[in-house]
């Protein structure tokens, strides 16, 4: 008989990111992780839920408030958990996700387990991996890769970036980067960038390729403040069908100078 809670392994490894070298704004990160697998029932061939999480946690290293601000933002936005360290949040998320899987899906599976074609519907996975890097001067870029499957025709893969002020740990939003009233101008610039990347010249041609078919162009809050450009990231279904995948639009700072703060 398979143990429903088959294993749970927390681990810590160390990685460093230097941001603004020589400026006193260096930020150090350590890896916090959790791996957990549960079986949906006690049956030997029961479907499983596999959770893999490996995330970067900012270290205090002389600036505890900055580290706390970064880690709390990551925990809230990526895991929906407040008031915990990032390791605690990772552990709590893995426990709750797998417990909810068993509670919600086991009754349904017991009705379907005689149908082998439905077995894959119950094989869940949830994976988060992160990396950090230097961005624009004084900016820490925190990149989250999320991959999960919860039944249906296919899994979901998303790229979710966060940008932090390396001095304070405050998260940077579009409103922190652009002047008030930037929205219309930025949307036009991004539409031009999309047309250039798809070799199209009109909305109609974009529609023909599946882009913006049932939505308007918008400035995504999923953006990366790179050294010489901003990368705007659109995950599947945001501006195009799933088959298109993740869309990344790079816009040079020079092209944004009239709306940048």
Q: What is the pLDDT of residues 170-214, one digit of tens each?
A: 999 999 999 999 999 999 999 999 999 999 999 999 999 999 999
Q: Give the helix/strand (H/E) hosting 165.
A: strand 156-165
Return the closest-CA partner of residue 112 out of 25, 40, 37: 40
Copy the structure tokens of residue 108: 């349904």
- pLDDT value at position 62? 85
Environment class of residue 3 by beta-carbon count within 10 Å: exposed (0-12), middle (13-18) or buried (19+)? exposed
Domains of the chain from N-terminus onward:
5-172 (3.30.565.40), 175-256 (3.90.640.20)
Q: Quote the CA–CA distance of 16 and 131 in Å, as a whole number.
A: 10
Q: Quote the CA–CA distance of 250 and 75 in Å, as a whole number.
A: 27
Task: State pLDDT tens for residues 113-133.
Answer: 989 999 999 999 999 999 999
- pLDDT value at position 135? 96
Say yes or no to pLDDT of 93 above 90.
yes
Q: How confident is the model at residue 4 (pLDDT cuts 50, 70, 90)?
A: very low
Question: 171 CB contacts (<8 Å, ≥6 apart)?
Answer: 69, 73, 162, 163, 164, 165
Q: Quote the CA–CA distance of 182 and 96 in Å, as a whole number.
A: 40
Share of the chain above pLDDT 90, in %: 88
Mean predicted confidence (pLDDT) in 78-104: 98
Share of the chain above pLDDT 70, in %: 90
Q: Give the helix/strand (H/E) hosting 233.
A: strand 229-234
- pLDDT value at position 2? 35
Q: Is 101 left (phi over 0), alpha (psi -120 to 50) or beta?
A: alpha
Q: Quote the CA–CA distance of 222 and 237 in Å, as a whole number.
A: 14
Say yes or no to pLDDT of 104 above 80.
yes
Say yes or no to pLDDT of 17 above 80.
no
């Amino acid at each position: 008989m398979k143990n429903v809670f088959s294993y749970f392994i927390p681990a810590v490894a160390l990685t460093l990111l230097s941001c603004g070298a020589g400026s006193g704004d260096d930020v150090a990160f350590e890896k916090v992780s959790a791996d957990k697998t549960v079986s949906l029932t006690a049956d030997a061939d029961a479907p499983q839920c596999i959770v893999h999480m490996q995330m970067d946690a900012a270290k205090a290293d002389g600036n505890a408030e900055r580290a706390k601000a970064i880690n709390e933002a990551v925990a809230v936005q990526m895991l929906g958990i407040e008031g915990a360290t990032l390791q605690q949040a990772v552990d709590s998320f893995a426990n709750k996700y797998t417990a909810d899987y068993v509670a919600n899906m086991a009754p349904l599976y017991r009705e379907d387990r005689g149908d082998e074609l439905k077995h894959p519907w119950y094989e869940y996975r949830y994976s988060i991996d992160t990396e950090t890097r230097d961005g624009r001067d004084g900016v820490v870029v925190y990149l989250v890769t999320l991959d999960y499957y919860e039944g249906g025709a296919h899994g979901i893969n998303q790229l979710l970036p966060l940008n932090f002020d390396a001095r304070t740990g405050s998260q940077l939003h579009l409103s922190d980067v652009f002047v008030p009233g930037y929205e219309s101008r930025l949307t036009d610039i991004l539409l031009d960038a999309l047309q250039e990347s798809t070799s199209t010249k009109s909305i109609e041609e974009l529609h023909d390729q599946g882009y913006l078919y049932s939505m308007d162009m918008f400035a995504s809050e999923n953006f990366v403040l790179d050294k010489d450009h901003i990368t705007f990231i659109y995950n599947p279904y945001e501006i195009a069908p799933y088959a298109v995948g993740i869309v990344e639009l790079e816009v040079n700072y020079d092209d944004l100078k009239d709306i940048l703060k």
